[in-house]
């Protein structure tokens, strides 16, 4: 079963964020607190969304996403920030069910694209994404500013 997350799910969401970071070999990079996630997902004007895959009484996985926008298409899209299924639940269709629900939301709302990033060494995920028809966006590299570099640019002024 796929359903939107509720405030009661925040502890499970934070646990999955930590489990995903462990899988991606970056456990020390998680800074998100339960309070931050609760505010981001359920505050007065949320900009972040989460759907859960539930297997019986257990949360099996999650998809954390937000709206993007294509100026070329003139329409919003969904950017999938994180997709994670607990190892004990993998192979049960939970990841595909989460992606299917987000694709359904895209189509239902008239969004133009559904995008995400994947680590280049994550072969199981890459093979899974290709199996559902996703394609690698060639010719584009992703860039990021954080920490001191972000602060330095912000302080540079005009």
The CATH number of residue 33's host domain is 3.40.630.30
Query: What's the whole-number mean pLDDT along residues 115-135?
Result: 94
> What is the pLDDT confidence band of residue 77, given thresholds at 50, 70 and 90?
very high
- Per residue in 79-88, pLDDT (tens digit) is 999 999 999 9
Determine the structural domain holding residue 79 and report its residue range. 2-155
Total domains present in the chain:
1
Joined tokens for residue 93: 């269709």
Is residue 11's pLDDT more than 80? yes
Scored b (16 or more CB within 10 A) or e, 55-85 reads beeebbbbbbbeebeeeeeeebbbbbebbbb
Residue 158, pLDDT above cutoff 70: no
Active site (catalytic) residues: 129
What are the tens digits of pLDDT across the range 32-62?
Answer: 999 999 999 999 999 999 999 999 999 999 9
């Amino acid at each position: 079963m796929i359903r939107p997350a509720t405030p009661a799910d925040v502890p499970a969401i934070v646990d999955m964020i930590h489990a995903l970071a462990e899988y991606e070999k970056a456990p020390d990079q998680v800074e998100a607190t339960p309070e931050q996630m609760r505010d981001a997902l359920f505050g007065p004007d949320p900009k972040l969304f989460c759907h859960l895959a539930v297997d019986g009484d257990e949360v099996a996985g999650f998809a954390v996403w937000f709206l993007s926008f294509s100026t070329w298409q003139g329409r919003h899209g969904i950017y999938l920030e994180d997709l994670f299924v607990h190892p004990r639940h993998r192979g049960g269709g939970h990841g595909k069910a989460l992606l299917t629900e987000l694709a359904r939301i895209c189509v239902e709302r008239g969004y133009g694209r559904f995008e995400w990033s994947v680590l280049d060494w994550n072969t199981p995920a890459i093979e899974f994404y290709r199996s559902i028809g996703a394609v690698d966006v060639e010719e584009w590299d992703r860039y990021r500013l954080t920490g001191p570099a972000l602060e330095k640019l912000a302080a540079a002024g005009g």
